[in-house]
Structure 1
């Protein structure tokens, strides 16, 4: 049976398969990382673990080129599109770049309207837990520069720090409201809106 692979998984699988077909042996983890511009070998390990779990490869511990192809019947998922993962979003911190600059997340195409510019941020912290946004969740962000009251937005403050909060326009200020009863709202007079949340994606291990 053909296995479903998403974009980066399939790219790495094809690279391994092609390397074995051309040279007769698998690439090293470092060669995989260099080919895809990955700064961390742990990211390569994560992708290989997914491929192994899906029964497409076997890894041999202790072997530098210890990857064996078990099944090359892979397909792309027809109802998904790939959105770039731009980084992490946490309360009161700059947006932290993702460790894989080419990372993407497959999302249902119905979440993104034609013409929208959208991307993914991964939530850090618990400031929005009462709205169902948990630490580690992936957020589908629609790029906008204006917001309506109640929108959950990505706001960049004057100091360059970013935060994820509900937006409310008041008389002479803007209230950025957390969804956590233990936290107080932030009051500002000027922010840069980078986008609003249109969907939350949670992955279970």
Structure 2
């Protein structure tokens, strides 16, 4: 899942972004309204966490403009204005998908972002299975032939994308776009290193193959019954 956090308070923006990344989300940050709009025009974000009180262009105006797009991101308004009138205005007049007042509990923010992502077309099933590998998105758990396996957030997100491909290839570009944020240098070995560690945790080199020009493909756990 790819998320844009539009928040001009740098400490809060960094805190939100770090927390969401720990939940296996790819997160970018914008500090002004015009920057947020520009980034949404260039990148297909699943969810936009949008502060209403942004400099240069207000969050309200960003929300209005994005609603004119053919396929806008799901928008969660984040604001200190907690009155019922403010919430009704944000949801009905501005067209936001959700509304969360500051101060907020981070667990609630995560839950709301995930809920918004599930409203997107063709949501991924909660439990994904392939070749002896089971991934539970709700519990954030992974099992190999019934045995729990501990994955880092990035490893979890890569595995989820491979499982959602149902045995088809996932390109290096799609992995970068979905799992990592905009600051990843495409020349680095981050994707290759993460996939390599994931192979080791899932059972060996044959679990995930890298095919030149096509990308990565999940085969399943090797064994006598597979």
* Greater C-alpha radius of gyration: 1
TM-score normalised by structure 2 residue count: 0.31
Determine which structure has the larger helix proportion and give its number: 2
TM-score with structure 1 length normalisation?
Answer: 0.33
More strand by share: 1
